[in-house]
Amino acid sequence: MDTTPLKIIHITDLHFFEFPKNILKLFNKRILGCLNWEWNRKKWFDFSTAKRFLNQLEQYKNTVVLVSGDLTVTALEEEFLLAKKFIDDIRKRSFPLYVIPGNHDYYTFEAIRKKRYETFLSEYLLSEKYPTVISLYDGTPLILIHTVKPNFLSSRGVIDKDQLHRLREIIPSLDKPAVVCGHYPVLHHTKEYHSSYSRQLKNAHLLREVLVQTKVPILYIAGHVHHYSLSKDETNPLITYLCSPPLFYSKVRNGGFCEITLENGNFNIKLNSV
């Protein structure tokens, strides 16, 4: 086991976008996603920083990269190709890389039926079953949870009963600081963001009830809200909740990635711009 302090780079909400070449692919929820992207969100993203981010990674040795979903906008094949290439480019710099899906990666029922996320990301999938527990290079447990479910109109996620059941066994038995990662945050509101009902995680209160059972520090990492946010649990301050902003958000919208170091049992977090 490696004894150097654990370092994690957290990136999220990459949102690679392509307008469908086949117009028939617009006849579902995708039409809403494309219009919203073209009219609103497109101007907030700056993908020209991708190369700079990959260059920045060169300075990190012995680091884990964690990608917490929303690799695409409408789960189109062309978007997954762009996302896969970017993720492969990160892995080429020989980082252990872990990835989970976001709601935009399950955007249409067709994408889910065709298992598009699972097909494109097949070499990064560790298990079909969540929660997935991984022992990182210093022995820190990384617990990946699946919080995405198909929705026709809303962007709500869910943590299902089976995962909660497993987490009820895992969390109280932890004997060292651990990282839990899901696409959706547990808290609906912090001082940095406010999630409307249609964007919240269903059963978030049950997930929090499980997390507060911990006797060791837990860092819960998420994306989805497109804001940087760092807060402690009100009941159990051993739990820290982190949301990172979209990696490709422009400077004006404070995009970037978080660098997490675990030293002497404490998680230190730094937000970096690209």
Residues making contact with Fe ion (CB under 5 A): 13, 70, 102-103, 224
Backbone angles phi, psi at 8, to 5 degrees: -125, 135
Pick between residue 102 and residue 131 the one whose CB is nearest to Fe ion: 102
Min CB(226)–Fe ion separation in Å: 6
| Shorter beta-carbon distance to Fe ion: residue 170 or 258 | 258
CB 71 within 8 A of CB 83: yes
Residue with tokens 């006797």: 215
Which phi and psi angles does 203 have, rounded to 5°? 70, 15
For Fe ion, the closer of residues 214 and 249 by Cβ is: 249
Q: Which of 219, 215, 188 is nearest to 204 (CA)?
A: 188
Instruction: Scan for tokens 């990492």, then name that residue.
Output: 221
How far apart are CB 263 and Fe ion at their closest, in Å? 30
Q: What is the rounded distance in angstroms from the CA atom of residue 271 to the CA atom of residue 228? A: 8
User: How many CB atoms are closer than 10 A to CB 102?
Assistant: 30
Nearer to Fe ion, 70 or 233 (CB): 70
CB 241 within 8 A of CB 185: yes
* Smallest distance, Fe ion to C-beta of residue 60, A: 24
Cα(47)–Cα(55) distance, rounded to whole angstroms?
Answer: 14
Q: Look up residue 154 and give its two tokens.
A: 């809303």
- Residue 143's beta-bridge partner residues? 133, 180
Whole-number Cα distances in Å, 17 to 32, 36, 37, 40, 105: 13, 12, 8, 13, 11
Write down the least CB distance from residue 267 to Fe ion, Å: 23
| Of 78, 100, 84, 106, residue with least CA distance to 17 | 78
Least distance (Å) between residue 202 CB and Fe ion: 14
Instruction: State the nearest-atom distance from the C-beta of 184 to Fe ion, in Å.
Output: 7
Q: Which is nearer to Fe ion, 177 or 182 (CB)?
A: 182
Nearest to Fe ion of 33, 102 (CB atom): 102
What is the closest distance, in whole angstroms, from the C-beta atom of residue 248 to Fe ion in the complex? 11
Reference 40, options 70, 66, 17; nearest CA is 17
Q: Which is nearer to Fe ion, 39 or 175 (CB)?
A: 39
